[in-house]
């Protein structure tokens, strides 16, 4: 049988461990910079997860590059901020009266 004293001592140790873990997680940096083949990118830490959004994975495909095999992106010289997603491809719904097209508009 566990005595009240040993129970409270173990509960106190658990609270101290939780407080120490919370303090360590608060010391982690908010911004993270890593090296890639195309240069340095900077992401952000959200709830302990490191997010790098909008990193280009290929060269632009417009103009003379249309319908050509993919090429590697041009290496950057500085640090690229990757906090949000890039541009999306615009698409128009065929049925303008549908709920989906009304939501898009």
**Rounded CA separation 20/26 (Å):** 10
pTM of the model: 0.54
For the stretch 39-56, pLDDT in tens is 999 999 988 899 999 888
Q: What's phi and psi for 81, nearest 5 deg?
A: -80, 120
> Which residue did the predictor score with more confidence, 31 or 57?
31
Distances (CA, A) of 52 to 29, 56, 79: 14, 11, 12
Domain boundaries in the chain?
Answer: 4-86
pLDDT of residue 21: 55
**Rounded CA separation 10/51 (Å):** 37
């Amino acid at each position: 049988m566990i005595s009240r004293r040993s129970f409270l001592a173990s509960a106190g140790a658990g609270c101290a461990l939780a407080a120490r873990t919370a303090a360590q997680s608060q010391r982690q940096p908010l911004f993270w910079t890593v090296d890639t083949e195309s240069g340095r990118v900077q992401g952000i830490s959200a709830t302990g997860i490191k997010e790098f959004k909008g990193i280009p994975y290929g060269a632009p495909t417009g103009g003379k590059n249309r319908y050509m095999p993919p090429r590697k992106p041009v290496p950057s010289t500085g640090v690229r901020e990757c906090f949000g997603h890039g541009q999306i491809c615009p698409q128009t719904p065929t049925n303008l009266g549908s709920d989906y097209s009304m939501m898009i508009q």
